[in-house]
Amino acid sequence: MTDTDNQILNGCDFTHTNYSYSEPKINKSGGKSVNIQNTAAKSALVITTPLMLTWGVNEFVDDATGRKSYDMSLQFPKDEYKTDETSAFLANLIAFEQNIKTHVKDECKKLLNKSKVTDDVVDALFHPMLRYPKDQQTGEFDMTRPPTLRVKLTYWDQAFDCEIYDMQSHRLFPNENGLMPLDLISKASNAATVIRCGGLWFANGKFGVTWRLVQAVVKPRATLKGKCHIQLSSGEKSRLEQQKDDDDDDVDDEAELAEDSDDDSGGSAAAAVAPIAPPTIVAPVAVKPVAKKKVVRRVKKVTTSSAE
């Protein structure tokens, strides 16, 4: 067994005897972290995963800083699609989560600054790495359905720190053709991976464990671009080549016809075209306004008769 074999454990059969916990460290922000080490290799815990469905690589952008981060989810299959490998891997991750919670409970004084905690408290503080879908009616996590495992992609200084290969072990990323992990690991693709445990983190009263992508094997998505898929028969090729020659003759004929038309454009042809008379402008007729007749009302004067 080589040193590399010691450093990478098979996720389908690793147990609690294969890893150990370091003493907690305090970071600059006041949070704590605990390394989870490969017991034999004395290095970070690195495991392989079986071939699993992925939902592609997700990109997140921090609105305040513009900082980008990336992750992907490995989907455990339903009962009708599960294999011995995926079932064993899921069982080992469930046992791994339980071992983590037991360690935190036993070391609660160092890790949580509490003299004693119950299992319920530990469960409430634990941020699970296996994520189960929620029941739409109750809003509770449905533990009877297959979960997903979230895996982060290390991205720093505008560069990814991971490798992606095809099924023939040809490296697809890093590359010189500009394709990125977002292009190579597409939605509904299958991938087998090597992932590194980032250890335990403690922040804002919660704790959990992270995984980061080291390598992935994928089947590149089929695309129509970059290759001609039109198959011409020998007869079609001959017709196409002949059409090219005919097109050249047509261009010459059209050029000669245009030159002849230019030579014949003088004399009688020009005289045959009558000039267009300018439009006649009719001066507007002034309309004399009609004077309104003034009506004068006369008041009849009544005189008093002497007979009255």
Q: Is residue 165 part of a domain?
A: yes
> H or E stretch including 287?
none
Report yes or no on 41 lying in a domain: yes
SS3 state at 184: helix
Residue 124 within a domain: yes
Backbone angles phi, psi at 245, to 5 degrees: -65, -45
Is 63 part of a structural domain of the chain?
Answer: yes
Q: What is the pLDDT of residue 227?
A: 76
Give me the domain span that covers residue 76.
3-218
pLDDT of residue 269: 43
In 264-299, which residue ranges form alpha helices assigned H by DSSP?
A: 268-271
Q: Which two tokens stand for residue 126?
A: 């634990």
Contact 162, 27 (CB under 8 A): no
As a whole number of angstroms, the distance between CA 274 and CA 271 comes to 7
- pLDDT, residue 228, reads 86
Say if 261 falls within a structural domain.
no
Start-to-end CA span in the chain (Å): 155
Q: Long-range contacts of range 23-26, CB-CB < 8 Å, 24 or more positions apart? A: 23/110, 24/107, 24/110, 24/111, 24/202
- Residue 276: predicted pLDDT: 56
CATH no. for residue 47?
2.40.50
Residue 282, domain member (yes or no):
no
Q: Residue 255: inside a domain, yes or no? A: no
- Residue 111 within a domain: yes
Phi, psi dihedral angles at 240 (to 5 degrees): -65, -40
pLDDT in tens, the chain (308 residues): 556 668 999 999 999 999 999 999 998 888 899 999 999 999 999 999 999 999 999 999 999 999 999 999 999 999 999 999 999 999 999 999 999 999 999 999 999 999 999 999 999 999 999 999 999 999 999 999 999 999 999 999 999 999 999 999 999 999 988 899 999 999 999 999 999 999 999 999 999 999 999 999 998 666 666 678 898 898 888 888 888 555 555 555 555 545 555 554 444 444 444 555 555 555 555 555 555 555 445 544 444 443 34
The predicted pLDDT at position 30 comes to 85
Question: How many domains does the chain fold into?
Answer: 1
